[in-house]
Amino acid sequence: MKAAPGAPESGARQVALVLRIGGGLGAALVLAGLAVSFAGSGGGWLHGSGDDPLGGNAAMRLSDLIGGLRHGRAGAVVLLGTIVLAATPAAGVVAAGCTWLRARRAWLAGVAAVVLLLLVLAGILGAAE
Amino acid sequence: MSPLAEIVAITAVCVLSGCLGSLLGLGGGTFVVPILTLAFGLDLRLAIGASVISVVAGSAAASPRYLDEGFANLRVAVTLEVATVSGAIAGALLAGHLSTRALYTVFGVVLAVSAVQMLRHRQDRDGLAVPDDPIADALSLHGTGTRAGTGTAVRDIRPYRVTRTATGLTMMTAAGAISGLLGIGSGAMKVPAMDLAMRLPIKVSTATSNLMIGVTGAASAVVYLQRGDVVPLLAGAVALGTVVGARIGSRLLAVVPAEALRAIFLVVLLIVSAQMLLRGLA
């Protein structure tokens, strides 16, 4: 079934909803992490004393997430937010693929599956670096 | 400058860059990396790592509106993402092995090419014959969209046919590679691929590019996150600024005079390009 001219196409509303939720959640986590960071080292942020929060030493890997959250590191909360943000477009592709699968548009659902497989491959190759 | 002042300044500048990136379909990263390196003196690799996150965040913020309003073509976006994601993985992996000077030089060249692309006068090619394309037919990529118009919110809806999908996929692979390498959205390459090669209407191309930029950026982001090139607080500040800017930009798309914006953007792009090239070649 075709959408009326100018109306959102099949799957568009679902993808838009997923992007809104993921974007909002990711941004909220980032904001919370920034607030916690500031609360924890407000003096250092104001006067420039202590470690540079924007320097290379503050960089984190994906594998640092769990340990960072366990130890209550504010940077880990921000990292979680950025991971949610990074995963949001992939969730959008999942939503589009599911909608197309239900609509029996096998070719399009297949293309969405290929995109998701490539994203998984990106993670594997990145970890192997 | 204290870290707090730096974070606030970075966030504020990223609001502007996110707004421009959304309006022009380029993604905020085009401006984020030069700003972080040239103005704030941050390490290029960390700037690219932050930019990648901001590119994804900006796309997630701007795209829902484009999808709701029927501007973005979801089928075209997902189809072309096969190419952009492949390219982005290759680019992001390559970035880990290039010197900083090489990255600055490539960045300068890409910005200069983007500026040249901006010089081209784009217009909808209504009435021109569109060659048949079996891939577009098989995947039902054709759609309806608004005719290009500036300064008007009046919708002139008409159907369009998509063509040369294979050419589009080839161009998108290159765009994805640049995106992964430099942490930018590569909208300057994606929009012409859809607009000139695949014959999508300009605003559909811009909106679809915005949607695709998120998935391309996600592929790069995974590699950068795994490699430890992301400083959470920096990426967070940049992402927040970009999200706010992208939301503003997506609201302005229907009413902003695109030609005037393009002219201002062109000048800024040329200046930044020269500065990046100087860093790379000096």
Domain count, chain B: 1
Q: How far is Cα of residue A80 from the mean position of the Cα atoms in its chain?
A: 8
Kindly tell me if the per-residue pLDDT of B158 is higher than 80.
no
Measured between CA atoms, the residue of chain A closest to residue B64 is A16
User: What confidence tier does B128 reach under pLDDT thresholds 50, 70, 90?
Assistant: low
**pLDDT band for position B120 (50/70/90)?**
low
SS (H, E, C) chain A: CCCCCCCCCCCHHHHHHHHHHHHHHHHHHHHHHHHHHHHHCHHHHHHCCCCCCCCHHHCECHHHHHHHHHCCCHHHHHHHHHHHHHHHHHHHHHHHHHHHHHCCCHHHHHHHHHHHHHHHHHHHHHHHC
C-alpha angle B214/B219/B224, rounded to 5°?
A: 110
pLDDT tens string B46-103: 999 999 998 898 888 889 988 988 889 999 999 999 999 999 999 999 998 999 999 9
- Asked if B146 lies within 8 A of A108 by C-beta distance, the reply is no
Half-sphere exposure of A118 (CA within 13 A, CB side): 28
How many helical (H) and strand (E) elements, i.e. helices and strands, does chain B have?
A: 11, 2
Partner residue facing B215 (CB), from A12, A38, A115: A115
Q: What is the pLDDT of residue A44?
A: 66
- Provide the chain A residues 92-121 that lie in CB contact (below 8 A) with chain B: 92-93, 96-97, 105, 107-108, 111-112, 114-115, 118-119, 121
Nearest chain A residue to B223 by CA distance is A126
A88–B75 C-beta distance less than 8 A: no
| Residue B43 structural domain | 3-281
Residue-wise pLDDT tens digits, A32-88? 998 888 887 766 666 666 677 777 788 888 888 899 899 888 889 999 999 999 999
Return the axis-axis angle of helices A106-128 and B202-227, rounded to nearest 10°.
Answer: 30
Burial class (CB in 10 A: 0-12, 13-18, 19+), B68: middle
The percentage of residues in chain B with a pLDDT greater than 70, rounded to a whole number, is: 90
CB contacts, 8 Å: B237 with chain A: 34
Per-residue pLDDT at B166 = 94
Question: Any CB–CB contact under 8 A between A53 and chain B?
Answer: yes
Quick one: which of B90, B185, B211, B164 has its CA closest to A118?
A: B90
How far is the C-alpha of B23 from the C-alpha of B245, rounded, in Å? 10
ipTM: 0.87
The share of chain B scoring above pLDDT 90, in percent, equals 37
Q: pLDDT digit string (tens) for A8-20? A: 677 899 999 999 9
Would the pLDDT of B153 be above 50? no
Inspect the interface and report whether the beta carbons of A54 and B158 lie closer than 8 Å. Answer: no
More confident residue, B24 or B31: B31
Residues B218, A27: C-beta atoms closer than 8 Å: no
Band (pLDDT 50/70/90 cuts) for residue B148 is very low
| Number of other residues whose CB lies within 10 A of the CB of residue A127 | 15
Quick one: pLDDT at residue B154?
47
Higher pLDDT pick, B134 / B157: B134
CB pairs under 8 A between A and B: 240
Is B75 in contact with A87 (Cβ distance < 8 A)?
no
pLDDT per position as a tens digit, B164-197: 999 999 999 999 999 999 988 888 788 888 988 8
The arithmetic mean of pLDDT across residues B229-242, rounded, is: 91
The model's confidence at residue B112, banded by pLDDT at 50, 70 and 90, is confident
